[in-house]
Structure 1
Amino acid sequence: MVNALQWAFGALIIVACFFSAVYSYRSRRTKDGRLRGLYASRMNISMGLMLIFIAIIQMFMFTGSSVRVAVGAVFCLLGLFNLFAGLRNHSHFTRLMKQ
């Protein structure tokens, strides 16, 4: 059971990393500022999810040491911040795209 969860979270990390790289590339290559912001916000959402998944693996899937829990907590906080900022910016740039 634990092994299956590790594989599932590992796959989710790889998918989130892939989408983060794709949106980073797209945001750097586009000329339109609104699209650039929209792609950057999607990159932040993907990166936030990736960091949260890494934190879950660090904190819950292995034997708990204080260093591992501290690193997991830092990754979780960074991931939540990226997720919040990405969702906020995504709603802002989506409204700009509709105008």
Structure 2
Amino acid sequence: MIDALEWVLGALIVITCFLSAIYSFRSRRTSDGRMRGLYTSRMNISMGLMLILIASILLIIFTGSSVKIVVCALFYLLGLFNLFAGVRNHSHFARLLR
């Protein structure tokens, strides 16, 4: 059961990393400021999810230590901040595009 969860989390990490890179390239290539903001917000959402998934897989794979808990907590907080900022910016730039 744990092995299957590790594989699923690993696959989700790879997918979110790929999406983050795609949106980063798109935001750098576009000249329209509204589309750049939309792609950047999607990149932040992908990176936030990726950091949360990395922290989750670290908690599952390795045994408990205080350093691991601190690192995982930092990854969770940074991921939640990126996710929150990305969702907030996405709603703002989506309204601008209408």
TM-score where L is the length of structure 1: 0.96
After TM superposition, list the pairs within 5 Å mapping 1:18-33 onto structure 2: 18-33=18-33
Aligned counterpart, 2:12: 12
Once the two structures are superposed, what CA deviation does each residue of 1:17-58 show, in whole Å capped at 9, x if it has no partner?
000000000000000000000000000000000000001111
Aligned counterpart, 2:60: 60
Structure 1: distance between partners of 2:60 and 2:44 = 24
Gap runs ≥5 in structure 2: none
What percentage of residue pairs aligned between the two structures are identical?
A: 69
Q: CA deviation at 1:64?
A: 1.0
Q: CA deviation at 1:60?
A: 3.3
2:85 aligned with 1:88: no
* Conserved? CA contact 1:45–1:82, under 8 Å: yes
TM-score where L is the length of structure 2: 0.97
Gap runs ≥5 in structure 1: none
Q: CA RMSD in A?
A: 0.7
Stretches of 4+ moved more than 6 A in 1?
none
Q: CA deviation at 1:61?
A: 3.4
